[in-house]
């Protein structure tokens, strides 16, 4: 069986940041080393520097597709497969093909090239990712009609972020390096407003950071690395399902927000004997609170809650664990360690544990609420 080709994607925040230029530059670099590289489809939009970068690279002629009385050109998938290069440059991964093509979307064409053992280098803008469609519309006021499933891009063997500040991109626009002169003013006052570009840039940076984090977790797993690597603050709040959960969740959120790129997760350990140990209503409420604050909720089934929390913390590369002060009385403590104590002792030098006090904590004394008598 022929090995599958490798996919490299240049990801940008907006048109004009230089994705196509960088893709062509990579094609030129590989061609100079003797790799068989062809342009399967590149859209230069009349940009002189992009067009210049394509010079010298073989281009597979496009296919003309008639549709509703007009002629459109698309990538000729069969011609590329017949030519069978080592590397194909395919611009605009999220593009929708004209009806009459074999596939509805260009990323599906690329999938066929990869299955044929051809490496592909492509481009995509952050606003075309399906999961961000609604967010981008709220930011820009424009709904993207061409989208691509996030997983298609996530599965890429390499993702390279092509970054540019909003000010630099607007200067490129003013100098005529993105759109022709007659379109510049409208673009600068609409899609290319500084706020729009800054927000899209942040989306691209965060999405790329998450992809890098996935690769890091996979590397740690493949190499059997147990101790967390503190690449960013990742705060894990351990929830028993008790009434103190809201306090712990909010504290974890505040702690994670203090660092750039920080995030927080919540984990609840259910008993492996099937017996309920927490109120389903409280757990539902706490999960809703976690998600409303931007955290992620996780459930683990185990017989030893403390060890389960520690194992999960190391699995997700957590830098901190937030737990509630014990609700156990001092008398109960005489008969064994509580979950919190075990977590603290097992965290080692690589995970900080924060014990948060709350109204339900025993604080080493008996808690007893006497019902008021009628004569009180």
Is residue 329 pLDDT above 50, yes or no?
A: no
Q: Determine the pLDDT at residue 321.
A: 93
Which residues fall within 8 angstroms of residue 276, CB to CB, at 6 or more apart? none
231-273 pLDDT, tens per residue?
Answer: 567 899 999 888 889 999 999 998 888 765 678 899 999 988 7
123 falls within a domain = yes
Q: Determine the pLDDT at residue 347.
A: 86
Task: Name the percent of the chain lying above pLDDT 90.
Answer: 53
Q: Determine the pLDDT at residue 20.
A: 96
State residue 177 phi and psi, 5-degree precision. Answer: -90, 0
Q: Determine the pLDDT at residue 221.
A: 67
178 and 99 part of one domain: yes
184 and 296 part of one domain: no
243 and 149 part of one domain: no
Contact 325, 355 (CB under 8 A): yes
d(CA 34, CA 51): 22
Q: Helix, strand or coil for residue 269?
A: strand
57 and 185 part of one domain: yes
Q: Determine the pLDDT at residue 207.
A: 86
Domain end point (choices 220, 244, 264): 220
State the CATH number of the domain containing residue 21. Answer: 3.40.50.300
200 and 161 part of one domain: yes
116 and 180 part of one domain: yes
Is residue 219 pLDDT above 80, yes or no?
A: no
298 falls within a domain = yes
In eight-state DSSP terms, residue 96 is B
Residue in this structure with the two tokens 């683990």, named with its chain if needed: 300
Please name which of 238, 344, 336 lies closest in space to residue 295, comparing C-alpha atoms: 238
Which has more confidence, 60 or 357?
60
Is residue 7 pLDDT above 90, yes or no?
A: yes
- Give the H or E element holding residue 311: helix 305-315
366 falls within a domain = no
Q: Determine the pLDDT at residue 333.
A: 41
Is residue 331 pLDDT above 50, yes or no?
A: no
362 falls within a domain = no
- Give the H or E element holding residue 215: helix 194-222
Q: Are strands 70-74 and 7-12 parallel, antiparallel or unpaired?
A: unpaired
Number of domains in the chain: 2
d(CA 177, CA 216): 37
d(CA 85, CA 29): 15
Domain end point (choices 156, 185, 220): 220
Contact 119, 86 (CB under 8 A): yes
First-residue to last-residue Cα distance in the chain: 85
In eight-state DSSP terms, residue 326 is P
Q: Helix, strand or coil for residue 81?
A: helix
Q: Which stretches does DSSP call E strand in the chain?
A: 7-12, 37-41, 58-59, 63-67, 70-74, 87-90, 119-125, 158-162, 234-239, 263-271, 296-302, 320-324, 352-356
Domain end point (choices 195, 220, 245): 220
202 and 239 part of one domain: no
Which has more confidence, 335 or 30?
30
State the CATH number of the domain containing residue 320. Answer: 3.40.50.620
99-138 pLDDT, tens per residue?
Answer: 989 999 999 999 999 999 999 999 999 999 998 888 889 8
Over residues 352-370, mean pLDDT: 58
Q: Determine the pLDDT at residue 171.
A: 93
Is residue 363 pLDDT above 50, yes or no?
A: no
What's the mean pLDDT when you consider all of the chain?
Answer: 85
Buried/exposed code over 10-21 (b: 16+ C-beta within 10 A; e: otherwise): bbbbbbbbbbbb
Residue in this structure with the two tokens 């389903």, named with its chain if needed: 280
165-175 pLDDT, tens per residue?
Answer: 999 999 999 98
41 and 94 part of one domain: yes
148 and 60 part of one domain: yes
Which has more confidence, 109 or 328?
109
262 and 173 part of one domain: no
Is residue 220 very low, low, confident or very high in pLDDT (cuts 50, 70, 90)?
A: low
State the pTM of this model.
0.64
Q: Determine the pLDDT at residue 260.
A: 57
Is residue 90 pLDDT above 60, yes or no?
A: yes
Is residue 66 pLDDT above 70, yes or no?
A: yes
- Give the H or E element holding residue 340: helix 339-346
Gyration radius of the chain over CA positions:
27
DSSP for 249-265, please give it.
HHHHHHHHHTSTT-EEE
Is residue 154 pLDDT above 80, yes or no?
A: yes
Over residues 187-199, mean pLDDT: 91
Q: Which stretches does DSSP call E strand in 208-315?
A: 234-239, 263-271, 296-302
Is residue 296 pLDDT above 60, yes or no?
A: yes
Over residues 132-147, mean pLDDT: 88
151 falls within a domain = yes
Over residues 310-322, mean pLDDT: 89
175 falls within a domain = yes
371 falls within a domain = no
175 and 246 part of one domain: no
Q: Give the distance from CA 339 to its chain's centroid.
A: 33
Residue 309: domain span? 234-356
Among 17-26, 262-271, 276-285, name the most confident range.
Answer: 17-26
229 falls within a domain = no
Residue in this structure with the two tokens 């942040």, named with its chain if needed: 202
205 and 238 part of one domain: no
Among 64-68, 218-222, 354-358, 367-371, name the most confident range.
Answer: 64-68
């Amino acid at each position: 069986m022929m090995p599958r080709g490798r996919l490299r994607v240049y990801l940008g925040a907006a048109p004009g940041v230089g994705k196509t230029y960088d893709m062509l530059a990579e094609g030129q670099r590989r061609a100079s080393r003797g790799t068989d590289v062809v342009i399967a489809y590149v859209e230069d939009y009349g940009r002189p520097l992009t067009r210049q970068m394509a010079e010298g690279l073989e281009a597979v002629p496009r296919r003309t597709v008639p549709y509703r009385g007009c002629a459109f050109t698309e990538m000729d998938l069969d011609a590329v497969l017949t030519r069978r290069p080592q590397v194909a440059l395919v611009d605009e991964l999220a593009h929708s093909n004209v009806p009459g093509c074999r596939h509805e979307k260009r990323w599906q064409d690329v999938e066929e090239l990869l299955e044929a053992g051809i490496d592909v280098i492509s481009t995509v803008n952050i606003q075309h990712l399906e999961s961000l469609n609604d967010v981008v519309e709220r930011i820009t006021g424009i709904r993207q009609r061409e989208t691509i499933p996030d997983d298609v891009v996530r599965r890429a063997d390499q993702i390279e972020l092509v970054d540019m500040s909003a000010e630099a991109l607007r200067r490129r626009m003013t100098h005529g390096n993105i759109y022709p002169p007659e379109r510049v003013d409208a673009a600068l006052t609409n899609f290319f407003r500084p706020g729009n570009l800054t927000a899209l840039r942040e989306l691209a940076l965060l999405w790329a950071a998450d992809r890098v984090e996935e690769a890091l977790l996979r590397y740690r797993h493949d190499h059997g690395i147990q101790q967390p690597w503190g690449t960013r603050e990742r705060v894990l709040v351990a929830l028993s399902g008790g009434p103190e959960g809201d306090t712990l969740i909010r504290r974890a959120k505040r702690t994670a927000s203090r660092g750039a790129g920080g995030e927080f997760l919540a984990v609840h350990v259910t008993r492996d004997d099937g017996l309920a140990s927490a109120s389903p209503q409280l757990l539902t409420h706490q999960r809703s609170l976690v998600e409303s604050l931007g955290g992620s909720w996780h459930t683990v089934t185990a017989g030893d809650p403390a060890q389960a929390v520690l194992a999960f913390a190391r699995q997700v590369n957590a830098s901190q664990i937030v737990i509630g002060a014990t609700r156990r009385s001092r008398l109960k403590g005489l008969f064994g360690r509580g979950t919190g104590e075990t977590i603290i002792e097992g965290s080692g030098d690589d995970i900080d544990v924060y014990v948060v006090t709350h109204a339900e904590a025993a604080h080493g004394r008996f808690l007893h609420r006497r019902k008021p008598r009628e004569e009180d």
